[in-house]
A and B are shown apart, each in its own frame.
Chain A
C-alpha cells in the first residue's frame, strides 16, 4: 500500500526527471549533428571543450553574482513589505492583492516590460536618468546590464516571497511579541530578536526556491533584455544551455552543460541543507 501511494510521484519523477537527466548524460558524450542523423562519440570531449573555454568558466562567476543578487533583491524587499503590511490594521487586504499582482506576469513578458522602460531610445526611466545627467546604456555597460536583468528577474519574485513572508508573520504568536513589548523592546529589537528567528523556516524555504528560480527560470528575462550581452556579462549557465542548444544546434555541448548544471545545483542544495539549515529553528 505505501508503495502504491508513492507510485504516482515516482512515476512522474521517472518520466519527467530521471529519464531526461539520463538522456542528457548520455548525449553529453557525443557530438551529434543537428538533424540526429549521426553522432560522434567523444567521451568527455564536450566537457573538455567547455572547461577550456574561459568564457564558460567566467559564466560560473556571472551565475553566482546573478543568483545572489536576484535572491537578495527579491527576498529583502519582500520581507520589508511583509513587515509593513503586517502592521497595517486597515486595508491590508488591498495592499496584499496589489503586491501579489506582479507574480502573474510571465518572466519573458516582465523582461520586455523592463526592457522598454530602460530602452536607451524610448525608455521612460532612461530618459529621466538622462535628464539627471546619467547616460544609461545597458547595451554596452556590463554593470547596468546586470543590474537591469537582476531587477527584472527579482521584481516578479518579490510578490511570491511577500506572500510567504506575510503568512509566516501572521503565524508569529502575538503573545510573545506583546510580552517583549511590555519588557520595553522597541520594534526593530522585537523584529530581529523574536520575529526573524521564528520565521527562519519560511526564509530558508524561500532561499532554496529563489536560488533555483535564479538558476533555471530567468533565461526568458535574459533572452528578452540582453541576450547574454554585452560581451558575456549576463550569460548565466542556464542561458548558455539554451542558446547553445536551441540557437546554436550544438546539442552535445548543451547536454554537457546541463549535466554540469545538475551537479552544481545538487552541490548547492547539499550545502544549503547541511550548513544553512543548521541555523533554522523549526
Chain B
C-alpha cells in the first residue's frame, strides 16, 4: 500500500508543476512505447519516489529518428531536455556536436554521484566511449542479434530441431532440409544491415570501415565490400532466389511472420524476447548468431544496437546534479537486472548480469543469456568495438536499398556493395566537412 501511495505521489508530482515547486525538474525524452514505455515510466517513478530533491519528467517523442530530431529541433530553439535518448546510429552525430552535449563523465564528476565506468560491460561501454576512454553517453538499452529457432516448424518439416546451427554452413544445410520438408519460410531477418553487415563484420573480425570503424577519426571510409561480406551476401542471395530466405522489409517486419509461427529461423535482436515470448504459440530456442567457418575459425563478438542517454548543454549546475543522480540510479544493479529480465536487452553492468544469474532467471528462461555470452566471450578488437560513422542513418538507408537489389537479383552482391560503399563514402565526406 505504501508503495502505491509513493508512486501515486510521484505521478501527481510529474503531472502538476505546482507540486514540484520545490523540486528541480529534469526532462527526459525517450523513444519507447508500449511495454517498454511502461517500464521506463516505472523506472522514473521509482527514482522520483526514492528522493525528494529532483523530479524527472519523462516524455515519449516518437521513434528513434523522431526523438533525435525532436532533441535537435529543441536545441536549436533553446528548449532542449536535460536527457535525450539517442539510438546507436546517431552516436557519431552527437559526438561531433561539441557545445550541444555535455559528456556523461563530466556530468558525473561534477554531480558527485556514484559512477564507475569500469562497472559497465566492455562491449557496451566501448560504443559510447572516446578513444581516450571517456564515457560520453550512458548506455541504456543495448541488444545484439541472435538466431531464433521455431522448433515446431523444424519438426513439421522433419528436421531435427536440436541440430547444431552455430555456423552458416550448418544453417545452409538446415535451410535445404526445411525447404525440402515443405517449409515456405525457412529464414527471415530483421534489420538486415545491422545483422548481416555490421554485426557480420564484427563477428568475423573484418573491418566495416577504415580508421577502426570510424572510432579513430572522421576521415573514415567504408570497406564492407570485402570478400567475407560478399561471400555471405552471395549465399544469402542464393537462398533468397531459392525461396529459402524470405525478405519482408527494412525494419523488423519479419518479426510478425516469425511470431505467427510462419518461419523456421529468424535473425533478430535479443530484445525480440519480450514480443516473441509473449506471442509465440510454439516452442522456440535462442541460439548464438551463426558464423562462417570458412571465414573465421571462431566468432569474435557481436556489437550492440539500441540507445544511450545523452546529456544536453545549457542547463543549471543544480539540474546537472539531478541528472547525475538519475543516471547513477538507472545504472544501479537492481534497476538494470530488472530491465534486462523484462526486456531481453543486455544488462549494461557486469553486476546486473551476475545478479540475474544468481536469481536463477537464466535457468528458468533458457537462452536469455545467449546474447550476453555472445557479446562478452572475447575482448573486442578494433573491428568489433562498434561503429562510429556520421550520417549513419542515411548510410543504412543506402545499404538497405542495395541489399534489396541483391535479394531481387537485380545486382550481384559485389556490384551492390561497391555501389553502397561509393554512395556511403560521399555522405561520410559531407559529414566530415560539416563537422570539421
Give the chain A neighbours of B400 by CB distance below 8 A.
229
Q: What per-residue 1/0 map shows which CB atoms of B397-436 lie under 8 Å from chain A? A: 1001110110110100000000000010011001001111
Whole-angstrom CA separation of A276 from B216 in the bound complex: 58
Give the chain A neighbours of B248 by CB distance below 8 A.
120-121, 139
From B260, which residue of chain A is reached at the shortest CB distance?
A: A121
Number of A-B contacts (CB under 8 A): 92
Contact: B433 with A40, CB < 8 Å?
Answer: yes
Q: How far is the CB of B241 from chain A (nearest CB, A)?
A: 11
Please, how many residues of chain B have a CB less than 8 angstroms from a CB on the other chain?
41
A-facing residues in B218-268 (Cβ within 8 Å): 247-250, 253, 256-257, 260, 262
Give the chain B neighbours of A247 by CB distance below 8 A.
65, 69, 393-394, 397
Give the chain A neighbours of B97 by CB distance below 8 A.
33-35, 37
Contact: A33 with B434, CB < 8 Å?
Answer: yes
Chain B contact residues, majority secondary structure: helix
Q: What per-residue 1/0 map shows which CB atoms of A32-46 lie under 8 Å from chain B? A: 111111001010000
A140-B407, A141-B408, A229-B404 known; A31 and B433 CB under 8 Å? yes
- B391 proximal to A (CB < 8 A): yes
Binds B, one of A65-73, A87-95, A159-167, A248-256: A248-256
Give the chain B neighbours of A232 by CB distance below 8 A.
401
A35-B75, A139-B248, A250-B430 known; A230 and B401 CB under 8 Å? yes
Q: How far is the CB of A256 from chain B (nearest CB, A)?
A: 12
- A53 proximal to B (CB < 8 A): yes
- B3 proximal to A (CB < 8 A): no
Give the chain B neighbours of A249 by CB distance below 8 A.
68-69, 72, 93, 391, 393
Partner of B434, one of A40, A122, A141, A231: A40
Whole-angstrom CA separation of A243 from B402 in the bound complex: 17
From B240, which residue of chain A is reached at the shortest CB distance?
A: A140
Partner of A243, one of B75, B397, B408: B397
- A227 proximal to B (CB < 8 A): yes
From B400, which residue of chain A is reached at the shortest CB distance?
A: A229
- B100 proximal to A (CB < 8 A): yes
Among A34, A139, A227, A249, max chain B CB count under 10 A is at A34
Contact: B430 with A35, CB < 8 Å?
Answer: no
Partner of A35, one of B72, B391, B404, B408: B72
From A35, which residue of chain B is reached at the shortest CB distance?
A: B100
Q: What per-residue 1/0 map shows which CB atoms of A207-232 lie under 8 Å from chain B? A: 00000000000000000000111111
Contact: A34 with B249, CB < 8 Å?
Answer: no
Q: How far is the CB of B103 from chain A (nearest CB, A)?
A: 15
Contact: B434 with A31, CB < 8 Å?
Answer: yes
- A17 proximal to B (CB < 8 A): no
- B2 proximal to A (CB < 8 A): no
- A49 proximal to B (CB < 8 A): yes
Q: What per-residue 1/0 map shows which CB atoms of A123-161 lie under 8 Å from chain B? A: 000000000000000011100000000000000000000
- A86 proximal to B (CB < 8 A): no
Whole-angstrom CA separation of A247 from B394 in the bound complex: 8
Partner of B430, one of A36, A228, A253: A253
- B370 proximal to A (CB < 8 A): no
Whole-angstrom CA separation of A34 from B248 in the bound complex: 32
- B41 proximal to A (CB < 8 A): no
Give the chain B neighbours of A37 by CB distance below 8 A.
97-100
Give the chain B neighbours of A33 by CB distance below 8 A.
96-97, 434-435
Whole-angstrom CA separation of A244 from B407 in the bound complex: 25
Contact: B393 with A231, CB < 8 Å?
Answer: no
A37-B99, A248-B391, A248-B394 known; A139 and B247 CB under 8 Å? yes
Contact: B405 with A231, CB < 8 Å?
Answer: yes
B-facing residues in A1-60 (Cβ within 8 Å): 31-37, 40, 42, 49, 53, 55
Whole-angstrom CA separation of A243 from B393 in the bound complex: 10
- A191 proximal to B (CB < 8 A): no
- A246 proximal to B (CB < 8 A): yes
Q: What per-residue 1/0 map shows which CB atoms of B378-399 lie under 8 Å from chain A? A: 0000000000000101100100
Q: How far is the CB of B281 from chain A (nearest CB, A)?
A: 16
Contact: B257 with A49, CB < 8 Å?
Answer: no
Contact: A139 with B249, CB < 8 Å?
Answer: yes
Contact: B394 with A35, CB < 8 Å?
Answer: no
Q: How far is the CB of A257 from chain B (nearest CB, A)?
A: 13
From A30, which residue of chain B is reached at the shortest CB distance?
A: B434
Whole-angstrom CA separation of A36 from B100 in the bound complex: 9
A-facing residues in B72-118 (Cβ within 8 Å): 72, 75-76, 93, 96-100
**B interface residues (Cβ-Cβ under 8 A, vs A):** 65, 68-69, 72, 75-76, 93, 96-100, 247-250, 253, 256-257, 260, 262, 391, 393-394, 397, 400-402, 404-405, 407-408, 410, 423, 426-427, 430, 433-436
Q: Pick 13 A–B contacts, CB within 8 A, sort by A.
A: A33-B435, A35-B97, A37-B98, A40-B433, A53-B423, A121-B260, A139-B249, A139-B253, A139-B404, A140-B247, A140-B404, A243-B394, A250-B430
3 closest residue pairs by CB, A with B:
A248-B394, A35-B100, A230-B404
